Structure 1
Amino acid sequence: MSVATAKILDGKALAQKIQNNLKAQIPTLQEQIGRSPGLAVLMVGDNPASAAYVRNKEKACINVGMASFGRHFPTETTQTELESVIHELNQDSRVDGILVQLPLPKHLDAVSLLHQIDPDKDADGLHPTNLGKLVRGEMGLRSCTPAGVMELLKEYNISVQGKHSVVIGRSILVGKPLALMLLEENATVTVAHSRTIDLASMTRQADILIPAVGKPNLITKDMVKPGAIVIDVGINRVVDEVTPKGRLVGDVAYDEVAQVAEYITPVPGGVGPMTVAMLLQNTFLSYKKKVT
């Protein structure tokens, strides 16, 4: 078997660097504003994956010197109750960022809840106002995972200008905002999805390939152009005989694709940590606005 040659895009290391920068900047602003930045993460129910993400976010908050106003609600919490909590947090001067942890239990309307968040406190960058600013190329809070992908490319001096970027997935969380961010940096962008005919012929044209689907081993070696940059946004828990307790894998068959790609992100340790770092960054940007 040939040895993997791709260089690793280390999201974990970059996320740590971003967190260290925030940790260094917060004390100075704290003197002027009179408090530390605050992030409120709202979680409903007991989805174990969501609980793990929320713990990571709250831990990261405390590490950089942010106040965490995390609220965990029972599964049966109503839409009205959550909306009233969001309205309170919108008014709370200690809170700079609000995030509703997705997915929510089926009886709740996530879109409607996101609409209730003050766009200036929209730490996840998913409010229509912030997505509209992205479409128009205006300053605004950016969706965390796509922004994390762009930061990773920047950190490794990978220019996307003029390059063919293929994004697989068209979700409002990743695919659509990422395509817009790549366009903003002058990439030529193709968005593929579950209805795309002959996906492999599309992916083989990609200078930059970014799957964000949630399907293990979707991208195999024969689907990747030699020398491509592969950024794996997928996170899937796989349980098999080797790992009965389960392990995390991406959408890319990592070992084989690493033999042909020039750069690749690992899962875990690639895009995941960057999502949390950008969440903190967004909260900090909202906080910074308080300095008059």
Structure 2
Amino acid sequence: MTEQIDGEAVAADIRAELQSTVDSLADAGERPTLATVLMSPDPASETYVSMKQNDCEELGINARDIELDLDEPAEALFDVIDELNADDDVNGILVQSPVPDHIDYREVLERIDPEKDVDGFHPTNVGRLVAGYPQYKPCTPHGIQKLLAATDVDTEGKDAVVVGRSRIVGKPMANLFIQKAPGGNATTTVCHSRTDDLAAKTRQADILVAAAGIPEFIDGSMLSAGVVVIDVGINRVDADTEKGYELVGDVDYESAAAKASAITPVPGGVGPMTRAMLLYNTVKATGLQNDLDVDLP
């Protein structure tokens, strides 16, 4: 039987463990605070930010919501980031992507204080991840590590194939898989839009992470029996539903599940873990910034 990996349940367990740590920090006078900055042309971004703020509220983490008009100049956004960097009461800063075309998102990332970069995308934090001593792991790849651990999937010595090379998922996921550390020690292949004979690569996988951003791109014919499939994709496709669409992953679930030993659904797989690990990083940041030991799941 193929195991469906329940991201909602694993994320709930992580939030429950974080709750006691948040309470302990609050007792020490340091309640974690996450600032979210919304200046995005993507209509879904407002929903994403709202969900993150609700997560904070449930755990007792303070959430600051800052919204900027899309036509504001880049300096308006940079000024907000500078103010948050200087505010000792703010522990984590998240600027929701994408930002308007007239703003270089790389400059946004570099502007955030690495100590408050709870997304883990500042060049300093990327460098630390590659070097093998990460300060904050990017939320989605870290969440995938937690899902695999919760499913008793040992990555050591396994062939891990990552489809996609984004800075958000593909690259950091590959770096975590190759680290000489728990959740790593895998032989790792990164595939992308220029990969020749993709199916030949994906069939080698003991663990497949699909993060290409293409609906149902990978099907069962591209997999070997017993593979563990982690589907990162969240794609809207037209459907005869009340909303007029449905969410599907980068993997054709039915055909992949027929081959896999374990697989994540969409939705309900990786998504809840990404949000849980943002809370994790915010709590960790609060401890680091205040020189306090914190218990992390």
TM-align CA RMSD = 1.2
Q: Does 1:190 align with 2:186?
A: no
1:262 paired residue number: 261
Tell me whether 192-201 or 240-249 shows the greater mean CA deviation.
240-249
Q: Does 1:28 align with 2:24?
A: yes
2:295 paired residue number: none
State whether residues 231 and 249 of structure 2, in contact with CA within 8 Å, keep that contact through their aligned partners in structure 1: yes
Q: Does 1:13 align with 2:9?
A: yes
- Look up the equivalent residue of 2:239 and give its one-letter code: D
State whether residues 98 and 122 of structure 1, in contact with CA within 8 Å, keep that contact through their aligned partners in structure 2: yes
User: Unpaired runs of 5+ in structure 2?
Assistant: 293-297
State the alpha-carbon separation in 1 of the partners of residues 110 and 211 from structure 2: 24
Q: Scaled by the length of structure 1, what TM-score is found? A: 0.95
State whether residues 209 and 231 of structure 2, in contact with CA within 8 Å, keep that contact through their aligned partners in structure 1: yes
SS in 2 for 1:157: coil
Shift in Å at residue 198 of structure 1?
Answer: 0.8
For residues 46-195 of structure 1, the aligned pairs below 5 Å read 47-184=42-179, 185-195=184-194
Shift in Å at residue 47 of structure 1?
Answer: 2.3
Shift in Å at residue 244 of structure 1?
Answer: 5.3
1:144-180 CA distances to partner (integer Å, 9 max, x unpaired)?
1111101111111211111110000001111000000
SS in 2 for 1:153: helix
Q: Does 1:216 align with 2:212?
A: no
- Look up the equivalent residue of 2:173 and give its one-letter code: L
- Look up the equivalent residue of 1:49 and give its one-letter code: A
1:204-248 CA distances to partner (integer Å, 9 max, x unpaired)?
111111110111110111001110000001110111335652111
State the alpha-carbon separation in 1 of the partners of residues 282 and 244 from structure 2: 34
Instruction: Say if 1:69 and 1:244 are closer, same or farther in 2 by CA, change over 3 A.
Output: closer
Q: Scaled by the length of structure 2, what TM-score is found? A: 0.94
State the alpha-carbon separation in 2 of the partners of residues 251 and 102 from structure 1: 20
State whether residues 235 and 250 of structure 2, in contact with CA within 8 Å, keep that contact through their aligned partners in structure 1: yes
1:89-146 CA distances to partner (integer Å, 9 max, x unpaired)?
0111111110111111111111101101010100100011111011110131111111
- Look up the equivalent residue of 1:86 and give its one-letter code: I
- Look up the equivalent residue of 1:48 and give its one-letter code: P
2:276 paired residue number: 277
Instruction: Say if 1:103 and 1:45 are closer, same or farther in 2 by CA, change over 3 A.
Output: closer
State the alpha-carbon separation in 1 of the partners of residues 7 and 75 from structure 2: 38
Instruction: Say if 1:210 and 1:6 are closer, same or farther in 2 by CA, change over 3 A.
Output: same
State the alpha-carbon separation in 2 of the partners of residues 291 and 187 from structure 1: 33
State the alpha-carbon separation in 2 of the partners of residues 69 and 179 from structure 1: 32
Shift in Å at residue 88 of structure 1?
Answer: 0.5
State whether residues 45 and 72 of structure 1, in contact with CA within 8 Å, keep that contact through their aligned partners in structure 2: no
State whether residues 40 and 98 of structure 2, in contact with CA within 8 Å, keep that contact through their aligned partners in structure 1: no
Runs of 4+ residues deviating >3 angstroms:
241-244
State the alpha-carbon separation in 1 of the partners of residues 44 and 111 from structure 2: 25
User: Unpaired runs of 5+ in structure 1?
Assistant: none
